[in-house]
Amino acid sequence: MTNLKTFAGFDVSKMFFDVSILINGKQNAKHFSYDDKGLANLISWLPQDVHVVMEATGPYYLKLACHLHQHGYAVSVVNPLVIKRFSQMRLLRAKTDRADAKMIANYGLAENPPLWQPPAGYIIKLQQQEALVQQLQKQRTALLCQKEAFTASGMDKEMKLLLHKLIANLDKQIELINKRMEAIMEEHYHQLLNNVISVPGVGKKTAIALIVLSGGFVKFSNYKQLSAYIGLSPRIYESGTSVKGKARICKMGMSRIRAMLYVCAWSAKRCNQPCKELYERLVAKGKSKRLALIAVANKLIKQVFAIATNNTIYQPDYARNICF
């Protein structure tokens, strides 16, 4: 499957998707509706020996990717940023669905991306619940800010009671979804969850978020990849002798998990001995406390990844022997 010479690029949106097949440099393109009829027409039109490539476009690609995988197609799912940089490198100006599909097919032909495997049903459920909790928490924060603003400008009892009920209802829904997530984690990741929360400073919510993000720590081959995906890896900004920018974290990942790990770092610098030593050493060198906390957050990722991949619990005396 890895030596296929025919690639099909898919540009997927909510209602439609465009397909471009490259055979010996020639393009065969078609437009489909994203419904049962369109999916049936796709299977009857698409040759079986093509390697399908598509972007991970929010929630829309998943159903199509799973459908093609079930029908025996080789499927690759690529980060949209990778396709964007690939297009920019070729100085392309056209921006249409058909042109994008052709570009994705060209990317497949040039890079031969690795094959994608559909996630288990409970993983999809966990990801959806995690996304819903995140959205509900944003609504809760917005209501709290609104309540504070109304209080400052004068708010009657009726409005105060309404906001109180709305916030309480969101709290109830968030708690309910968190309990459902914990139940799924206990069923499928009981030992892994216990291992991860054994790391001093890492709570259950953060552990669940990391397990969901990493697919049980099987989506990444090392902790550096996980750190980069979250957006905590440092980025050096230097060029020649004149440009010497400060190293900063590359905030291209998950802001919510990044914030959760930052909060965990506050706890870890007190109760996690390797993290405490790292924090104190950096502060003693004159580094800012914020930078030191980010370094501690990265240390936590390294510890958690080692714990998860070695299938063990945290042991202070053994910590430095498993690449902490």
- How do residues 258-315 score in pLDDT, each as one tens digit? 889 999 999 999 999 999 999 999 999 998 899 899 999 999 999 999 999 999 998 8
Tokens 């100085």, residue?
A: 91
Beta bridge partners of 21: 8, 28
Measured in whole angstroms, the distance separating CA 86 from the mean position of its chain's CA atoms is 21
Handedness of CA 197, 182, 251, 144 (dihedral sign): negative
User: Is there a single domain that holds both residue 133 and residue 43?
Assistant: no
Give residue 200's identity as a one-letter amino acid code: P
191 falls within a domain:
no
Give the span between the Cα atoms of 319 and 272, in whole angstroms.
Answer: 10
Burial of 75-108, coded b for 16+ CB within 10 Å and e otherwise, reads bbbbeeeebeebbeeeeeeeeebbbbbbbbbbbb
The reply to whether 2 falls in a domain is no
Domain residues for the domain of 236 are: 196-322
Structure-token pair, residue 27 = 């393009």
Same domain, 31 and 146: no
Confidence at residue 76, expressed as pLDDT on a 0 to 100 scale: 94
Alpha helices in the chain (DSSP H): 36-45, 60-70, 80-89, 97-111, 121-153, 157-188, 190-197, 204-214, 223-230, 255-271, 273-284, 289-310
Q: What is the pTM of this model?
A: 0.71
> Looking at the structure, do residues 173 and 130 belong to the same domain, yes or no?
yes
Spatial distance between the Cα atoms of 48 and 51, rounded to a whole number of angstroms? 9
Query: In the prediction, which pLDDT does 121 show?
Result: 86
Residue 211 near residue 193 (C-beta atoms within 8 A): yes
pLDDT at 182 over 60: yes
- Residues 79 and 55: beta-carbon distance below 8 Å: yes
CB 64 within 8 A of CB 17: yes
Same domain, 305 and 218: yes
Nearest of 231, 229, 210 to residue 309 by alpha carbon = 210
Work out whether strand 51-55 and strand 74-78 pair parallel, antiparallel, or are unpaired.
parallel
What is the average pLDDT value for the chain, to the nearest integer? 85
- Domain boundary among the residues 87, 111, 135 is at 111
Q: Domain check: are 65 and 145 in the same one?
A: no
Domain-embedded: residue 38: yes
CA distance 276 to 292: 10
Do 157 and 275 belong to one domain?
Answer: no
Residues 20/97, Cβ–Cβ less than 8 Å = no
Both 127 and 216 in one domain: the answer is: no
Q: Looking at the structure, do residues 38 and 104 belong to the same domain, yes or no?
A: yes
Total structural domains within the chain? 3
Among 40, 69, 36, 35, residue whose Cα is nearest residue 52 = 69
Residues 13, 98, single domain; the answer is: yes
Both tokens of residue 158? Answer: 């009726």
Instruction: Among 57-61, 225-229, 243-247, name the one with the lowest average pLDDT.
Output: 243-247
For 88-134, what is each residue's pLDDT tens digit?
887 776 678 888 999 999 999 999 999 998 888 888 898 889 889 98
Would residue 190 count as lying in a domain? no
